[in-house]
Amino acid sequence: MLSEAEQALLSLLRANARASTAELARRLGVSRTTVQSRIERLEQRGIIAGYGVKLSADYEQGLVKAHVLLTVTPKLADKVVRALQALPPVRTLHSVSGNFDMIVIVDAPSIRDLDALLDQIGAMDGVERTSSSIILSTRIER
């Protein structure tokens, strides 16, 4: 369980992981050493697993993003996961309950590239059925 102070720190880091400890300390109303020790504890506990790159809105708007729902053969699910993991346009893969087994979030530079990617995913050994939806806009992203 995270304390309110840790949750506040994580919220600021999600918004800007490159914020200096001085800036974080100022916004949280604590010392820089307090911020640094909290970050180190969160890293040691595995709560902060790493830091990443957030792409600019202009760059993101140039990509065609889609959700691809998959029904897979249960015995071949691991093979499908490995094949999807090898595709750079695959951003996220979720196992889900319901009518489908997995949801894949992909991005491609064009509709033509997305079409080819969807064909490639649909032809994978173990993929029984796909259904895709192009993402028109993202209203909330945290």
Both ends of the chain: CA-CA distance in Å?
20
Architecture of domain 4-44: Orthogonal Bundle (1.10)
Query: pLDDT digits over 22-74, tens only?
Result: 999 999 999 999 999 999 999 999 999 998 888 887 888 889 999 999 999 99
The pTM for the full model equals 0.70
How far is the C-alpha of 27 from the C-alpha of 12, rounded, in Å? Answer: 9
Query: pLDDT digits over 81-90, tens only?
Result: 999 999 999 9
Same fold, 4-44 and 57-134: no
Tokens standing for 66? Answer: 């889609």
Helical (H) or strand (E) element with 128 = strand 127-134
Domain 57-134 has CATH 1.10.20.10: no
Tokens standing for 139? Answer: 């209203």
Contact 53, 17 (CB under 8 A): no
